[in-house]
Chains A and B, each alone.
Chain A
Amino acid sequence: MGRFLLQRLAYMIVALLLIITFTFILMHVVPGGPFASEKQLPESVMKNLNEKFHLKDPLWLQYLKYLAQLAKGDLGVSFKYEGRTVNEFIKNGFPVSATLGAVAVLIALIVGISLGIISALHQNKWQDYLAMIIATIGFSVPSFIMASLLMYFFAYKIKLFPTAMWGTPAHVVLPSVALATLPTAFISRLVRSNMIEVLQQDYIKTARAKGMSERVVIYKHALKNAILPVVTYLGPLIAGIFTGSFVVEKIFAIPGIGRDFVLSIVNRDYGLILGLTIFYAAFLMFMNLLVDLSYALIDPRIKLTRKEG
């Protein structure tokens, strides 16, 4: 177990270094820069800016300097929002995106798993078709349309929730539902197909033959195995959803970090691009590691040690 962890951590560091390098190269290759605007700046002003942000240094030196700074836990500064650090952006934005994401994941899990179980137990009956229709809608309606529709009906028409912004629990509802739509559909389909498969396995037949109650068979034996793929999906899902959605955050004017990430690229905010990319990548890898560890807890057949040859 310890060895497995060490190995994984080493891989993660290598992967992160590669990501930093590629991002660094790419962002300097695309045209434009953090100080380009419609009105051309005089040369002396550009010179001052470039000196202040060390953009005059050769790229390799900038790269090494950045790595050195990163080693100290400093993700850098924003070029566009002067005086604000990337760490500050994460500190302010991530908890918001993560809260929203957590509620969305919860909704997706509760509704998705319930729908999946219901349709598996009622295979090819109306309950199944209904769940399938809901899932299809969830798959096919993009989140920006879902967000706009929710806002139109629940905020504008019946005025049940505030239109946008952040602050009270009421502000969480519409955006989290909009965010949860796709994963809900996905989870319900995943659970349904696995549940159907698991229910036909020998050990379920055995359990039933032993006279166990249907409730115990389904919730204790079948469900545990049926949701294993959901756990796999949960890693990237949480990583993706916790780090914020540009569309949903923009539409609902939520001060999350998803918007910062996309806008940093549009603005060529070199500091913010690098810092947030590293944060995203590290978070995604960490979530995947958690998923792998949780396998061991759920499924005893999986062992995390490598066989010695």
Chain B
Amino acid sequence: MRKRNGLLALLAVVLSFSLVFTGCAKKTEENKTGENKTPQVIKYVLGADPETLDPGKMTGAPEGTIANEVFEGLTRYDKDGKIAPGIAESWEVSQDGKTYTFHLRDAKWSDGTPVTANDFKYAWLRALSPELASEYAYQLYYIKGAEEYNSGKGKAEDVGITVVDDKTLKVELKEPAPQFLGLTAFQTLMPLKKEAVEANPDFKVGNGKKIIGNGPFVIDSYTSKDKIVLKKNPNYWDASSVKLDELDFYLIDDAKTALTMFENGEVDMISDIPTEDMPRLKQEGKLKVFPQLATYFYRFNTTKKPFNDPRVRKAFAMAIDRQALIDTILQAEQKPAYAFVPYGILDANGKDFRENGGNAYFKEDVAEAKKLLAEAGYPDGKGFPTVTILFNTSEGHKKIAEAIQQMWKKNLGVNVKILNQEWQVYLDSQRKLKYDICRAGWIADYSDPMTFIDMFVTNGGNNETGWSNKKYDELVKKAKSTNDQAVRMQAMHDAEKILMDEMPIMPIYFYTNPELISDKLQDVIVPSFGVEAEFKWASVK
């Protein structure tokens, strides 16, 4: 009898606990349904905590996504992904492509004060100041005197930014850079209000501190690792286009959890989708796939045997089945890559750069690959040393590496090992060329082939293959020195051809951007590079 009582008491405790908790859960749900009159609120899962809310310092796409809603640069990408007037109403570019004159519209900060040309100059010089030590200061290096100032060799006064009057900003570049216009929409080049920054140098939100912006939304509250709540900015110059009352960025970094919340209706949109759920979501018709300006590729270490021989590199690139990787592992409508620059970048004639350059610089051909390998001294893979594919720890990269390992074994008769390293160690190995073959990915910084092509110049910071080619370097230099689009693009086509002939890297596929977006959302823009999503025109059905 006594013992049973003990058990009952315990049960009672447990029961009463669960009653208290379920009571709470029910109550919040009722509250939600009570005021449910299609509120214009979108809940988007942004991922981990943003590293900073300071546009001058931020580097990542999640941070950029926030900045894009809270601030607005001279230009802004429109619904079709084209550069459109932002705070600048219009602009002129000089004949030589080196001087840009921007004319600002009547725009206001979220506190009601006017946005002036001075706010841009202040923000840009701030980003360049060595004391701020912004990682993205180099995004401004196109401007005359900018690099010198940032590296401590020049003065702020010598940077080519001139405030002609409150509404006119003149920018002098050191060499023509057609991508500069698109860059003015980018976070590092967004304007800042000096007084606001000086009052809140760390860009904190809460405890009476707030961020003064000039974009479609203002940050209402920010709870670390929880969510950032944005409210419509009534002082935004184009406020009539903004339909949302509230935009919530959920800070959840576990993709699986975010997926459950999406399927539970607790959030409206997620962009980080677990690979293992991809096939199911695709089958259920929930997956929306958008293009992305990014390439997945393998680097070869061209400084040592056996990959110092271009024939070996070509043989390896020709001996895998890219479509099979996409169909069985990736499953998000990626495109096999037989060139380095992805689809979706405009050429001089307004057509696609990739289509113009030919879709393929090489083809998958096992017989030809074997021939090349034999010519290099390894008939049927005989005498070929065991080489290793290095990748950063991730289930997705591992599956691809394993499949490619099998393909090379079967098609070329070579033995390949695979090795994963933790992110930072992998970066270190890649940088110091401590690898044979190394997995890599590259996302465009701006919509121009140059963002891919100038990686592989001799000793370029992002080359990391040890490869060097004089003709290639010359072509890149040529493209960078002219404002004539036809000449620029042709030089980059020629450069890409050399890259694919020599093959220090082996392209595998062009990324896509799979998203889960609730059917009740309208006009959410998913751009092919830069920010994760654009909600300026979005609304809820």
Contact between chains at A39 and B424 (CB < 8 Å):
no
**With the chains together, A37 CA to B119 CA distance in Å?**
30
Which residues of A from 230 to 272 have beta carbons under 8 Å from B? 250-255, 259, 263, 266-268
Residue of A nearest to B200 (CB): A83
The answer to whether residues A110 and B13 also contact, given A48-B130, A159-B264, A170-B25 and a CB cut-off of 8 A, is: yes
**With the chains together, A250 CA to B7 CA distance in Å?**
34
CB-CB < 8 A to B49: which residues of A?
A: 81
Does B38 belong to the interface (CB within 8 Å)? no
**With the chains together, A122 CA to B3 CA distance in Å?**
10
Interface residues on A, range: 35 or more
Does A32 belong to the interface (CB within 8 Å)? yes
Residue of B nearest to A159 (CB): B264
CB-CB < 8 A to A48: which residues of B?
A: 130-134, 137, 150-152
Contact between chains at B133 and A160 (CB < 8 Å):
no
The answer to whether residues A156 and B263 also contact, given A40-B462, A80-B51 and a CB cut-off of 8 A, is: yes
Which residues of A from 118 to 145 have beta carbons under 8 Å from B? 118, 121-122
Interface 9-residue window, one of A63-71, A161-169, A298-306: A161-169
Contact between chains at B138 and A45 (CB < 8 Å):
yes
CB-CB < 8 A to B51: which residues of A?
A: 80-82
Give A161-199 as 1s and 0s: 1 = Cβ < 8 Å from B's Cβ atoms.
111111111101100000000000000000000000000
Does B358 belong to the interface (CB within 8 Å)? no
Residue of B nearest to A96 (CB): B225
Does B54 belong to the interface (CB within 8 Å)? yes
Give B149-178 as 1s and 0s: 1 = Cβ < 8 Å from A's Cβ atoms.
011100000000000000000000000000
CB-CB < 8 A to A47: which residues of B?
A: 151-152
Contact between chains at A30 and B424 (CB < 8 Å):
yes
CB-CB < 8 A to B422: which residues of A?
A: 266
Interface 9-residue window, one of B251-259, B301-309, B492-500, B510-518: B251-259
Most chain A CB inside 10 Å of its own CB: which residue of B6, B202, B253, B440: B6
CB-CB < 8 A to A118: which residues of B?
A: 3, 6-7
**With the chains together, A169 CA to B251 CA distance in Å?**
20
Does B141 belong to the interface (CB within 8 Å)? yes
**With the chains together, A168 CA to B133 CA distance in Å?**
40
Interface 9-residue window, one of B313-321, B323-331, B427-435, B501-509: B427-435
Which residues of A from 30 to 46 have beta carbons under 8 Å from B? 30-33, 35-45
Residue of A nearest to B431 (CB): A40
Give A97-126 as 1s and 0s: 1 = Cβ < 8 Å from B's Cβ atoms.
000000000000011001001100110000
**With the chains together, A51 CA to B150 CA distance in Å?**
13
Most chain B CB inside 10 Å of its own CB: which residue of A37, A41, A45, A167: A45
Closest chain-A Cβ to B505's Cβ sits at a distance in Å of 14
CB-CB < 8 A to B261: which residues of A?
A: 163-164
CB-CB < 8 A to B28: which residues of A?
A: 168, 170
Does A151 belong to the interface (CB within 8 Å)? yes
Does A289 belong to the interface (CB within 8 Å)? no
Contact between chains at B133 and A45 (CB < 8 Å):
yes
Residue of B nearest to A253 (CB): B252
Residue of A nearest to B202 (CB): A83
The answer to whether residues A155 and B264 also contact, given A81-B51, A169-B21, A169-B24 and a CB cut-off of 8 A, is: yes
CB-CB < 8 A to B106: which residues of A?
A: none
CB-CB < 8 A to B252: which residues of A?
A: 164-165, 253
Contact between chains at A45 and B135 (CB < 8 Å):
yes
CB-CB < 8 A to B22: which residues of A?
A: 160-161, 170
Contact between chains at B21 and A82 (CB < 8 Å):
no
Give B457-483 as 1s and 0s: 1 = Cβ < 8 Å from A's Cβ atoms.
000011010000000000000000000
9 cross-chain pairs, A with B, having the tightest CB-CB distances, nearest first? A32-B424, A83-B202, A44-B151, A40-B461, A255-B225, A31-B428, A48-B133, A170-B25, A52-B133
Residue positions of A touching B, CB distance < 8 A: 30-33, 35-45, 47-49, 51-52, 80-84, 92-93, 110-111, 114, 117-118, 121-122, 148, 151-152, 155-156, 159-170, 172-173, 214-215, 250-255, 259, 263, 266-268
